[in-house]
Chain A
Amino acid sequence: MVSSALRMSLLDQTPETLTKGTWLHRWPAGLKLFSLFTLGTALVLTDRLSILGPAAIVAGLVCLSVHWAFFDQGPASSSRSTAFVWPLVTLVVIVAYIGIVSGLEHAMVVFCRLLALLLFAVSVMATTSVTAMMAVVEKFLQPFDRWGWLRADKVALMFGVSLRLMPVLLEQWHEIREAQAARGHRASPLALLVPMLVRTLQRANEMADAIDARGGSSGR
């Protein structure tokens, strides 16, 4: 659910969309990530529906204000609009299950929390370039780098590559599923997961080679 929502926001990322000029676009990347982290922590720590409900509504309004331009672009934007459907369907299924197991109130708490988190995250991702996010991560980790605990640039690169790979891996998943279907196989988890894992590892290997070949490591 989260990966498909993030994919949706990442697919929207081009300098053109990133400079659309909504109020959230103008926020510095560091402030956006810090706000997302703080809000996420607060939403996880509270169980009060009186807080989570309005939070989900606010998140919806934020997301709508950011994505409004995309919905207003005619037929070409319809895939972006429908991209919201599957994450929401998944969310509703999860909440329905929780409702059956733990009761309606708990289900509503989970629903509002997940929805708010999802919409805030999508809004941030859709308005922040991967490069800007990487710069924030690298800056944030600099002290740990100085103490020799980790390599800030490599962690930032890992973060950036993970974001870039989400849509690529989703596409790969669909390809494998289609290939299995074309051979008349029913979708069994093992038949999907094994080729997915093998291809992902091969891709990771080649990507690491490509990053090395382009001087991705600064030599330390």
Chain B
Amino acid sequence: MIIEFEAVSVERGARTILRELNISLSESRIGIVGPNGAGKSTLARLINGLIAPSAGRVLFNGLAVADHLIAVRQQIGFLFQNPDNQIVFPVVQEDMAFGLKHSLPDKTLRAARIQATLAQLDIADLSERAVHTLSGGQKQLVALACVLCMQPDLLVLDEPTTQLDLRFRNRLLQIIGQLPQPVIAISHDLAMLETFDRVMVIDQASIQADGPAAEVLPWYRAHYA
């Protein structure tokens, strides 16, 4: 997996959110930190084309994201901060089936994939539950299951632990740690990023620090605490 940002800028009116980013991402675990409003979520959304850059281009495995939106989105799973906004259908298995509608038209195969994914996350018992009866932590696990059942090549997580209690946070981190796919995680949860291969600090529309977690996180704590 390789993601390249070539002179990418994002502007909203007079405000510059990201300025001329030139980065290449290929590590297995990449963390993005920074103050609120620094452009972290914008950077994540550029990867799967939810936001188009004002200038420059983003490449995913050599494909220009803007020109191959469908193909790129099939390869990238995106987990949002609020699972309530990500889960579209009232029942867990119906929601998971929605994401697979186009990529797996066979209903039997689709049902098998859904059950296998739920079992992988140890939430098979939630399969037939109504979404509104789930706790916040369970909803986040279901949202992750919805993403994983599409078998993406890359996972992008936008502040996945923000709304979770300690038990579900630890469970989610354990699951993420075991995933074979590369992961890009935006988070204020610095402990989560300590084992990551690479961490970037974004502030003032550009990258302020970039390197191994062991080097960048102490620098971030010292400058932004």
**Candidate in B77, B91, B147 with the most chain A CB atoms within 10 angstroms:** B91
Given the complex of chains A and B, what is the CA–CA distance between A47 and B116 in angstroms?
55
Q: Does A53 belong to the interface (CB within 8 Å)?
A: no
Q: From A62-70, A100-108, A203-211, give the one contacting chain B.
A: A203-211
Question: A207–B99 contact, CB under 8 A?
Answer: no
Chain B positions 85 through 104: 1 when the CB is less than 8 Å from some CB of chain A, otherwise 0: 11011110110011100110
- Cβ of B5 within 8 Å of any chain A Cβ, yes or no, is no
B128 touches A213 (CB 8 A): no
The answer for the CA separation of A131 and B132 in the assembled complex, in Å, is 17
Q: How far is the CB of A18 from chain B (nearest CB, A)?
A: 8
A residues in contact with B94, CB < 8 Å: 129-131
Residues of B with C-beta under 8 A to A168: 84, 132
Number of interface residues of B (CB under 8 A): 32
A interface bracket (residues with beta carbon within 8 Å of B)? 20 to 34
Is B82 located at the chain interface by the 8 A CB criterion?
A: yes
Whether B102 contacts A218 by the Cβ 8 Å rule is: yes
Contact present for B45 and A219 (CB under 8 Å):
no
Residues on A with C-beta less than 8 A from B93 are: 15
Q: Are A209 and B82 in contact (CB under 8 A)?
A: no
8 Å CB interface, B165-201 against A: none
User: Chain A 14-43 against B: per-residue CB contact (8 Å), 1 yes, 0 no?
Assistant: 111000000000000000000000000000
Asked if residues A14 and B130 are in contact (CB atoms below 8 Å), the reply is yes
Main secondary structure of the interface of A (DSSP, over half): helix
B132 is contacted by which of A167, A207, A214 (Cβ under 8 Å)?
A167
A206 to B78 CA separation, bound complex (whole angstroms): 12
Given the known A-B contacts A206-B85, A210-B85, are A13 and B90 also in contact in the complex, defined by CB atoms under 8 Å? Answer: yes
Counting chain B CB atoms within 10 Å of each CB, the highest count among A15, A210, A215 belongs to A210
Within the complex, the shortest CB–CB distance from B133 to chain A, in Å, comes to 8
Known interface pairs A15-B128, A218-B102; A213-B48 also in contact (CB < 8 Å): yes
In the complex formed, the residue of B with least CB distance to A210 is B86
Q: Does A195 contact B (CB under 8 A)?
A: no
Considering the chains assembled together, what is the distance between the CA atoms of A180 and B146 in angstroms?
Answer: 35
Given contacts A15-B128, A203-B85, contact A215 B103 (CB under 8 A): yes
A-B contacts, 26 of them at CB < 8 A, read A11-B130, A13-B90, A14-B90, A14-B128, A129-B94, A131-B94, A131-B97, A163-B90, A167-B132, A203-B85, A206-B80, A209-B80, A210-B80, A210-B85, A210-B88, A213-B50, A213-B73, A213-B77, A215-B73, A215-B74, A215-B102, A215-B103, A216-B88, A216-B98, A216-B99, A218-B102
Q: Which residues of A contact B (CB under 8 A)?
A: 10-11, 13-16, 129-131, 157, 160-161, 163-164, 167-168, 203, 206-207, 209-219
